Structure 1
Amino acid sequence: MTGPTHRPERPVDGARREQRGDDRRPERSAGGFRGDRTARTGGWGDRGGADRWGGRPGRPVRPAVDLPRYAAYQAVAAVHRDDAYANLVLPAILREQGLTGRDAAFATELTYGTLRQLGTLDTILTAAAGRDVERIDPPVRDALRLGAYQLLHTRVPAHAAVSSTVDLVRTVGEGATGFANAVLREVAGQDLDAWVTKLAPSPAADPIGHLAVTYSHPQWIVRAFADALGGDLGEVTRLLIEDNERPPVHLCVRPGRADAVELADEVGGAPGAFSPYAVYLSGGAPGDLPALTDGRAHVQDEGSQLVANALATAPLDGPDGRWLDLCAGPGGKAGLLGALAAQRGARVTAVEVSEHRARLVEQATRGLPVNVLHTDGRTVGADPNLPEGHFDRVLVDAPCTGLGSLRRRPESRWRRQPSDLPPLTRLQRELLAAALRATRPGGLVAYVTCSPHTVETHVTVTEAARRAGVAADFVDARTLLPPGMPGLGDGPTVQLWPHRHGTDAMFLAVLRRD
């Protein structure tokens, strides 16, 4: 397929039902663990899964537990117990348990779906259990969340969801099978719409609270989205729905090394709707693609491609060979900038304060005209490698709350708190002020965050520009994006949105130093 020029809006009516629609995994039984698979994997106990992933110490996993469901439990338990990230821990679990194909897809759906719907699931489980979920033993709580997700969001038959979850609880929560059975049967007594109608606040009395329960987002995040969208709760609803969808995989073709149309044909994907370097994948494991292993492309959201390309293509008077990426880890934008710089005889200095992430940038930019510095971007003027008034184009992809990528990192919506904002916004202002100092007169600075929170976007840019000690003027960022791209607002800054553009919610401000 080819990308549209505008993503159609989803209807609000029946939106929750749409999320449980025909694209979910077909019905599967709750049946036991097949003996041939036990032989292939060496048995549950041999892997030490219960000890490693949250079961009772010293008790091997029972063969009766369904393997994909147990893999999902391992991932969800690791997220909640160890502050792990699902996108990092789940692939390792799938490899360890030998899961591929439909089984791996089912485990992935259960993991990410449960994490996305956690807030609503916990509200329902609290009502069904007659006690706050925080008072339930953590392994049992995570198993119940997986069971409730199957009951309310998939076409798994109720008896299969209940019996398989009770089997799981028997493995990880000794003595709690009767409790789990009773709670899940209570959950199964009503569908999702009925539970939400019963438990969510009235939309008239508390519209933010209603949306938070209905679409499983913390209230403070819903409120932040509403502020950024001018109070339009209909549009907020569409954004929340999009956050709960499985996100597509976007590839970024490296200019000079590959062509988007040709790569789309090679990988069975489609050229992107907006970025000239984007390719949409329909599925599969992108890490296995030859184009990634040989450096012709990398995985990168289309919104990230657009903001990096906007800086690289913005009109600039005077010299144009010294580019700076002030917060480069893990290297996606540095990789695209490096490929563009190679075509134009420029060089990129990529700065990253974390040693591990600096190594990732080196790997991502191998063979490109990119020099990686392991240092703090705020040392402009004090570090001889970061002189003031030197660089022609500067990117500040600042650390942020990540509220714009909740569909890709569902656990982050439950980890982030309003108390995270003050230290982050202070860092953002300091980095942007350093970037402005590093830029030569007439040079350009692009400030980017993967968050639409107004404190991290408009407030940060305004305050940093005021405190930087150098004069700068806004460039209308809308003119730096593809012509005809819809929903870009009044300028001069740009906010991209999942529900408008199919990208992460990237913010872009471009400043020209006087």
Structure 2
Amino acid sequence: MTSEQGGRSSHRNNQQGAGQGGVRRRDEAGRERNRSTSRNRTETAPGQRTRIADPARLVAFEVLRAVSADDAYANLVLPTRIRRHGLDRRDAGFATELTYGALRAQGTYDAILAKCVDRPLSELDPAILDALRIGAHQLMAMRVPTHAALDQTVGLARAVIGAGPSGLVNAVLRKVAAKDLPEWLAELTDGLSDDVKIASIEHSHPEWIVRALRQALVAHGRDVSEITALLEADNAAPVVNLVALPGLGDLSEAFDAGFTPGELVADSALSSGGDLSRLDSVRDGSVRVQDAGSQLVARALAAVEISSELADGEERWLDMCAGPGGKAALLAALAAEKGAWILANEPSAHRAKLVSQALVAVPEDTWTVRTGDGRDIGAEHPGAFDRILVDAPCTGLGALRRRPESRWRRKLSDVSELGPLQRELLTSALDAVKPGGVVAYVTCSPHVAETVAVVEDAMRKRTDLELLDAGAALDAVSLNGNLGAGNPDSPIPAHQKMAQLWPHLHSSDAMFLALIRKN
């Protein structure tokens, strides 16, 4: 969204609201009046100007309210609100940047707002706080003129919250606008010596997540100084990744629509956004939206060599935690190419339906969807599968670019609560895999307690397991062949052959992969 667009939106709403200088309008009592042309527009109090909500800002506000009040996910709510309000491409881009920007930087903006409000933020009406966050993002990080950001945000508050709250919004945002972002950050971090606290404020991540990411970097042979680049990558707008299902999809339509070839994995394409539903190949399911990291771990499992002693000619694969179906669709297409069959298991009936929908483009005789607890499969089907994907439920700290609200929802206690489930699922998979078969343990989180610790626990409890080189497996299926698992200058110990992708290095989600063969 350009500054001109911010001005255009402001100009449009001023025409509809307070009018232009010299144009006769009626006041609230119905009397005609002639607005003076001598008062400069930027000097007019915002609360006295715009009295309606600009549609793009209204969309952002509605999404933030859904996220705050209903625990909704922004990536699911935003497209529906954009369509409901009929935004054109330009205004949709503005609404998208405003929504995700306000969510990503919420921690930083709340720290600024706390300096400008005469009471704890927890005592503010949540709707007012969301409006303030929207205003703060326009003032601190977007090319929107100050007068437009103030005018439009106050007009939004007046239209959807009320005249009284709009006065508070006006007063607070004027204080925010008195300094630019570097000045605010300097004030907020002045006197602090704790690097974690400083990074938390400057890069808008909870302190516990900053600590976890620092530990994860070190655990995978990276230098802790990379934390700044990693946090910055988390706050960057993610590129849309498409994958053409092998043997089924074609990216020519996407390339015609302006997508560019993916640089990390075959049969992929990249785009900064747009309405993907306009692509026939996306609608029919043969081309799917999927992060490059997810594509790589699925391909690595499908390509790794197995030596199943019980192989009967047709490989049997298992996606133990298949919902909502992205990796299952890619695995099923890869299975079809290899003459294999895949069972996609999902404990939630609703998400199992999503898996079936995701698999619709793949020949039906290649896959089956099961609704059930993955922890039961090891006992019910011991030694039955050649390749098993355990895409374990996790905190999702590796996908904060795409789900910025997650950083404010997740708690440190979530890590310990998820730990037993992750271990039980991996144990079940190790029971269900054939001798010579391979289990891929995957999380969209780099947290050591969800990744390395889970795998090492499993390896200690059994003597029939071999940890394969997951970094080499990723290299084998990547286009550049140089992903690896760690920093060449700080090699990982030989027993830790686990791989970790990083947003700041690979422009992908922080996917973790361990490949375990049963001997």
Is this a same-fold pair by TM over 0.5? yes
Pairing 1:346–2:336 present: no
The match for 1:311 is: 301
CA contact (8 A) 1:264 1:271 kept: no
Pairing 1:472–2:465 present: yes
The match for 1:188 is: 177
Equivalences for residues 230-269 of structure 1 within 5 A: 230=218, 232-259=223-250, 262=252, 265-269=255-259
CA contact (8 A) 1:470 1:513 kept: no
Shift of the alpha carbon at 1:173? 3.9
Q: Deviations over 1:56-115 (max 9, x none)?
A: xxxxxx962211111111111111011111111111111111112111111111111100
CA distance in 2, matches of 1:351, 1:100: 40
Equivalences for residues 147-166 of structure 1 within 5 A: 147-166=135-154
CA distance in 2, matches of 1:337, 1:232: 34
Q: Deviations over 1:367-404 (max 9, x none)?
A: 33110000000002444xxx101100000000000000
2:124 counterpart (118, 136, 145): 136
The match for 2:508 is: 503
**Aligned in 2, Cα 1:99/1:444: closer, same or farther, shift over 3 Å?**
same
Equivalences for residues 355-394 of structure 1 within 5 A: 355-366=349-360, 367-368=362-363, 369-383=366-380, 387-394=381-388
Pairing 1:78–2:66 present: yes
Equivalences for residues 90-109 of structure 1 within 5 A: 90-109=78-97
Deviates more, 1:26-35 or 1:332-341: 26-35
Shift of the alpha carbon at 1:438? 0.1
CA contact (8 A) 1:267 1:281 kept: no
**Aligned in 2, Cα 1:435/1:23: closer, same or farther, shift over 3 Å?**
farther
The match for 1:446 is: 440
Q: Deviations over 1:320-357 (max 9, x none)?
A: 51001100001111101110111111000010001111
CA contact (8 A) 1:65 1:168 kept: yes
What are the ranges of 5 or more consecutive residues in structure 2 without an aligned counterpart?
A: 18-49, 487-491
Shift of the alpha carbon at 1:23? 7.7
Paired residue type of 1:254: L
Residue aligned with 1:252, SS: strand
2:421 counterpart (423, 427, 433): 427
CA distance in 1, matches of 2:384, 2:151: 66
Paired residue type of 1:476: D
Equivalences for residues 148-227 of structure 1 within 5 A: 148-171=136-159, 172-200=161-189, 202=191, 205-227=193-215
Aligned residues: 463
CA distance in 1, matches of 2:369, 2:455: 26
Paired residue type of 1:314: V
Pairing 1:28–2:7 present: yes
Q: Deviations over 1:289-316 (max 9, x none)?
A: 1111223211100000000000000011
What are the ranges of 5 or more consecutive residues in structure 1 without an aligned counterpart?
A: 1-21, 38-61
- Report the TM-score, using the length of structure 1 for normalisation: 0.86
Q: Deviations over 1:201-220 (max 9, x none)?
A: 656x1100000000100000
CA distance in 1, matches of 2:15, 2:172: 31
CA contact (8 A) 1:255 1:340 kept: yes
CA contact (8 A) 1:472 1:511 kept: yes
**Aligned in 2, Cα 1:183/1:282: closer, same or farther, shift over 3 Å?**
closer
Residue aligned with 2:7, SS: coil
Deviates more, 1:176-185 or 1:186-195: 176-185
**Aligned in 2, Cα 1:141/1:381: closer, same or farther, shift over 3 Å?**
closer
Residue aligned with 2:382, SS: coil
CA distance in 2, matches of 1:323, 1:456: 24
CA distance in 1, matches of 2:273, 2:100: 15
Paired residue type of 1:508: L
CA distance in 1, matches of 2:162, 2:106: 20
Deviates more, 1:159-168 or 1:486-495: 486-495
Paired residue type of 1:295: G
**Aligned in 2, Cα 1:286/1:155: closer, same or farther, shift over 3 Å?**
same
Shift of the alpha carbon at 1:140? 1.1
**Aligned in 2, Cα 1:381/1:395: closer, same or farther, shift over 3 Å?**
closer
Residue aligned with 1:328, SS: coil
2:397 counterpart (399, 403, 408): 403
CA contact (8 A) 1:140 1:173 kept: no
Equivalences for residues 260-299 of structure 1 within 5 A: 262=252, 265-299=255-289
Shift of the alpha carbon at 1:28? 2.3
Q: Deviations over 1:416-459 (max 9, x none)?
A: 00011112111000000000000011110000000000000000
The match for 1:4 is: none
CA distance in 2, matches of 1:285, 1:349: 32
Residue aligned with 1:481, SS: helix
Deviates more, 1:478-487 or 1:152-161: 478-487
**Aligned in 2, Cα 1:23/1:503: closer, same or farther, shift over 3 Å?**
farther
CA contact (8 A) 2:485 2:497 kept: no
CA contact (8 A) 2:199 2:228 kept: yes
**Aligned in 2, Cα 1:279/1:238: closer, same or farther, shift over 3 Å?**
same
CA distance in 2, matches of 1:509, 1:88: 30
Shift of the alpha carbon at 1:485? 1.6
Paired residue type of 1:245: A
* Aligned-CA RMSD value: 2.1
- Report the TM-score, using the length of structure 2 for normalisation: 0.85
